[in-house]
Structure 1
Amino acid sequence: MREVQMKRVPRRQLIVPTAAALFAAAFSLISPANAQTFSSSYTSTAPKDCRTIGKPRDLDGGTTQVCPGKSGLVVLISEDDLRQTVSVGPNHVAATKEPAAEAWFAPFNSTAHTVEWRAADGRPFAIIQRWLIADNNDLDKTGSPTAKPMLAVTRLPPGSVCHVAYIDGQANRNPNELARQAADEFARDFNCGKDEVKVIGERGRAVELARR
């Protein structure tokens, strides 16, 4: 019976291709996006931390407040007829001209006092804020509409400031994580006025009310 012998390959020849393949695989995973460091920081929009500009409007008591943000930006919160809009800019005049300043929801609504600033390598590119949307079809014991929570992701300059994504706060178990992922993946390339605001995760009552 003929014995078939396998040709022995020198040890170096086995190691070098394997090392090269591993290096190439590792290098292929490195991209500008992967190399960036994402982080979150926070500011307050509580009345004590902001300043009111202009005079309250007589009929509905509407107000406009300017709150400090990050990287030289300010947060502009306008309230009119128990509805708020939130915009961002280098100053309050610039913020009033952004699409976000006109992005309002039909039901009564308000925002929480914490703004999360999402940044890449220390440079903010989006904010995440919690909204409470009044549900007139779900009244509490006093007969007042219950508030449904929703997170809104808003892109920042350079470029226009506008809503990018909505995440329902009750329909999803991890709304904060979903909001951060949406900000990281979509905010910087989002085209305000052309791209449709995305609904991330499960749709719930808050998103339904906001999309009316």
Structure 2
Amino acid sequence: MKRVSPRQLIVPVAAVLFTFWLISPANAQTFSSSYTSTAPNDCRTIGKPGKSDDSTTQVCPGQSGLVVLISEGDLRQTVSVGPTREAAAKEPAAETWFGPFNSTAHTVEWRALDGKPFAIIQRWLIADIDNPDKTGNPTSKPMLAVTRLPPGPVCHVAYIDGQANRNANELARQAADEFARDFKCGKDEVKVVGEKGAAVGLAKR
């Protein structure tokens, strides 16, 4: 049997150790989720002097020094994020409306990489006036929206229909992890992830 010298073992052993270092948990990227509330009691309502309409603006605490800005007018909402209320109001997300009446749920999921948030996921209810309930009111269709966070502009990245996809939450997290950080607001088209159902169809009218 041919003897192998210690010097001949150095290179393969070093290669194995380097490969193990690359895939070790200490060097793996860790995605995580945390949650905040946008319920009225957890937010601050901003008055609009001189306004006689039904519009409201709420500022809600978020993660990592960010705030969530929710504006409502004519039974439609916008949601934006920024380090301050003023900054959030200037983001593309603050100008992104859905045509049908809509509202958001009171829980915001913050998607983070190694503890730093890069996207939020929020459930929206889109009114379907073409399919009223027994009382004649529009039915509500659930949809998840993924929104990218700073650095860079804040805008919608992906929509996931809540009825057409049983694993809507999982799809939303996957969309956030894969698309949000490199998404170019104003250039890239908002992605429809999973099966396109009634809510997404209404939102994209």
Same fold, judged at TM 0.5 (above): yes
- CA-based RMSD: 2.4
2-structure distance, mates of 1:110, 1:27: 47
Give 2:188's match in structure 1, choosing from 170, 185, 195: 195
Deviations 1:81-114 (A, max 9, x none): 0000000001110001000000110000000000
2-structure distance, mates of 1:48, 1:198: 33
- Paired amino acid for 1:103: T
Query: Any idea what SS the aligned residue of 2:117 has?
Result: strand
1-structure distance, mates of 2:61, 2:80: 12
Q: Which structure 2 residues correspond to residues 73-88 of structure 1 after superposition, within 5 A?
A: 73-88=66-81
- Paired amino acid for 1:132: L
Instruction: Tell me, yes or no, if structure 1 residue 123 matches structure 2 residue 116.
Output: yes
Shift of 1:21: 7.2
Aligned residues: 201
- Paired amino acid for 1:162: C
Shift of 1:42: 0.5
Which moves more between the two structures, 16-25 or 147-156?
16-25
* Matched-pair identity in %: 75
2-structure distance, mates of 1:19, 1:142: 73
The alpha-carbon distance between structure 1 residues 142 and 37, as it changes in their structure 2 partners (threshold 3 A), is: same
Query: Any idea what SS the aligned residue of 1:142 has?
Result: coil
Instruction: Tell me, yes or no, if structure 1 residue 174 matches structure 2 residue 167.
Output: yes
Return the TM-score normalized by structure 2.
0.89
Give 2:100's match in structure 1, choosing from 79, 94, 107: 107
Query: Which residue is 2:133 aligned to?
Result: 140
Structure number with bigger Rg: 1
Unaligned runs of 5+ in 1: 1-7
The alpha-carbon distance between structure 1 residues 48 and 174, as it changes in their structure 2 partners (threshold 3 A), is: same
2-structure distance, mates of 1:35, 1:22: 17
